[in-house]
Chains A and B, each alone.
With several copies, the nearest count.
Chain A
Amino acid sequence: MSDADFTELTTEPIDITSVARRVVPPECGATVTLDGYARRLTKDKQTGETRETDHLVYEAYEPMAIKEMQKLVEEVKAEFEISNVGIVHRLGKLEIGETSVVISVASPHRRAAFAACEWLIKELKRTVPIWKKEVYADGEVWIEGEASEPPA
């Protein structure tokens, strides 16, 4: 991680623009940003039924989550030719439509930024200890990830 990279957890709303702007070094002309957000409709993986979510709650094992995000930044910067990376994940209660995660990558070459950003969200969902609870009108459930074994 350089001083220009950042990995953060926040209970405040995330502004995509400001995350994207913070990763920008003066010689780069583009950033690629992935943002995830609380969606109203989700499909139950077992039943295939669509459920309507009222709101979400995210919880993290905070010090480990920051460590794991920092590892991802180290790995992605070793693997791809990119300049800076910013990852911000929201915690606590999120209303529908609010941003849950923003990952921004600045790079001199667009292709590397797209590839790095795509790799980061895939790995974040696999390794960073954060959990999502979907709250419905008639109940709630902690979503369990798809990882079939502990992340390496």
Chain B
Amino acid sequence: MANRRTKVLFFGATADAVGSRELEFSIDETTTANFLIVLLSQQHPALATHRLLVAVNEEYADADTVLTDGDEIAIFTAVSGG
């Protein structure tokens, strides 16, 4: 149980909102991406002003996905390349 960790990446508007491009979190076997978003939104209310998308290990994922040890999460706004 101990030492499960997940890396969370931020880009663009979400990086500005949390003031960081990468954070690490301890997780347990029930932690979801959405749980981390709620946690982060409490510390950084600007984050909650955006509609957020989630990727787990470089693939789009549902925010309810349960995370596992070593996962790389990314939290970002709707993409605007092109």
Contacts and interface: CB of A to CB of B under 8 A. Distances in A.
- Tell me if chain B binds chain A: yes
A124 interface: yes
Contacts of A130: 79-82
Contacts, number: 87
A89 B81 contact: yes
Contacts of B58: 61, 63-64, 67
Contacts of A151: 60
B53 interface: yes
B60 A131 contact: no
Interface stretch (B7-15, B23-31, B37-45): B7-15
Interface residues of A, number: 33
* Majority DSSP secondary structure for residues of A touching B: mixed
A119 interface: no
Interface of B: 9, 11-13, 16, 50-51, 53-55, 58-62, 74, 76-82
6 contacts: A59-B12, A124-B81, A124-B82, A128-B79, A131-B80, A146-B78
